[in-house]
Amino acid sequence: MDAVEVVPGLVVDIRYAGEHNFVARPIDGYEAPRCLLTRPAAQALAAVQNDLATSRLGLKVFDYYRPARAVAHFVRWARDPSDTARKAEFYPSIEKRDLFRLGYMSHRSRHSRGSTVDLTLVDRRSGREVDMGTDFDLFGPKS
């Protein structure tokens, strides 16, 4: 189900449906920026969103259900040493060939079950993200 239907005020920024991601292009399987999750995961997000309301904070989701073809796309990208267009932003201190060995990437994803999300907090008034120390999808020790 689309979590937006269950989580009031959920902000969705599906980076893999666009070009602002470590691959620098849309990822296979992300045809539309919809936050697809299992019903229990969406309901859990709704409960958190409700709890955050008193603090003027809300949730912003970057990733959700990840199709196997998206994981395959990540693996193909990782195996191409010449494709480093977004190294400076997403993996400045890590060599691309080490992304799997260091655990930043995997050949299988928990996201593929539809109950894992990548998210952050936002100020509901301004829409600005709360500083979490690093930006989304930074491959490095700080993350």
- Per the DSSP assignment, residues forming a β-bridge with 59 are 121
**How far apart are the C-alpha atoms of 115 and 63, rounded to whole Å?**
11
Residue 13 covered by a domain = yes
- For residue 72, the domain's CATH number is 3.30.1380.10
Kindly state whether residue 103 falls inside one of the protein's structural domains: yes
Residue 143 inside a domain? The answer is no
What would the pLDDT profile of 4-17 be if each residue is shown by its tens digit? 999 999 999 989 99
In the predicted model, what is the mean pLDDT of the chain?
92
Question: Is 134 inside a domain boundary?
Answer: no
Structural domain total, the chain: 1
The span from the CA of 16 to the CA of 33, in Å, is 8
pLDDT of residue 35: 84
The domain in which residue 112 lies consists of 3-123
pLDDT for res 111: 74
Q: Who contacts 85 (Cβ-Cβ below 8 Å, separation ≥6)? A: 24
Kindly report the pTM of this predicted structure.
0.88
Alpha helices of 4-135 — where are they, by DSSP H?
A: 39-52, 68-78, 87-90
What 3-state class would DSSP assign to 15?
helix
